[in-house]
Amino acid sequence: MNTDIFNAILTGKNTDAQKFVQAALESGASPHDIIMDSMIPAMDEAGRRFEEHKFFVPQLMIAARAMKESLAILSPLLAASGSEPMGKVVIGTVMGDMHDIGKNLVASMLEGAGFKVFDLGVNVAPDKFLKALQENEAEILCMSALLTTTMPAMRKTIETLINAGIRDSVLVMIGGAPVTQAYADEIGADGYSSNANAAVTLARQLISKS
Ligand code: B12
How many percent of the chain have pLDDT more than 70?
Answer: 98
CA distances from 181 to 25, 73, 153, 176, 205 (A): 35, 32, 16, 11, 16
- Alpha-helical (H) ranges within 27-178 are 31-34, 40-51, 57-78, 101-112, 126-136, 152-163
For residue 55, pLDDT over 60 is answered with yes
Q: What pLDDT, on a 0 to 100 scale, did the predictor assign at position 84?
A: 67
* CB-ligand 1 contact for 14 (6 Å cutoff): no
Atom 84, ligand 1: which residue's CA is nearest? Answer: 147
Alpha-carbon gap, residue 173 to 89, rounded angstroms = 10
pLDDT band at 40 (very low <50, low <70, confident <90, very high): confident
Q: What is the mean pLDDT of residues 32-42?
A: 91
Which domains, and CATH codes, for the chain? 3-78 (1.10.1240.10), 88-209 (3.40.50.280)
Residue from 11, 98, 100, 146 to probe ligand 1 pocket by mutation (most atoms less than 8 Å from CB):
146
Question: What is the overall mean pLDDT for the chain?
Answer: 92
For residue 83, pLDDT over 80 is answered with no
Instruction: Compute, in angstroms, the gap from residue 84 CA to the centroid of ligand 1.
Output: 33
* CB-ligand 1 contact for 142 (6 Å cutoff): yes
Contact between 141 and 173 (Cβ < 8 Å): yes
163-210 confidence digits (pLDDT tens): 999 999 999 999 999 999 999 999 999 999 998 878 989 999 999 887
Q: 3-class DSSP state for residue 11?
A: coil
Q: Which amino acid, 31?
A: P
Please give the angle made by the CA atoms of 192, 34 and 10, to the nearest 5 degrees: 85
For residue 43, pLDDT over 60 is answered with yes
Q: What pLDDT, on a 0 to 100 scale, did the predictor assign at position 80?
A: 61
CA-nearest of 80, 40, 29, 82 to 63 is 40
Instruction: Compute, in angstroms, the gap from residue 148 CA to the centroid of ligand 1.
Output: 10
Alpha-carbon gap, residue 115 to 113, rounded angstroms = 6
* CB-ligand 1 contact for 152 (6 Å cutoff): no
CA-192 nearest atom, ligand 1: 47
Instruction: Compute, in angstroms, the gap from residue 15 CA to the centroid of ligand 1.
Output: 23
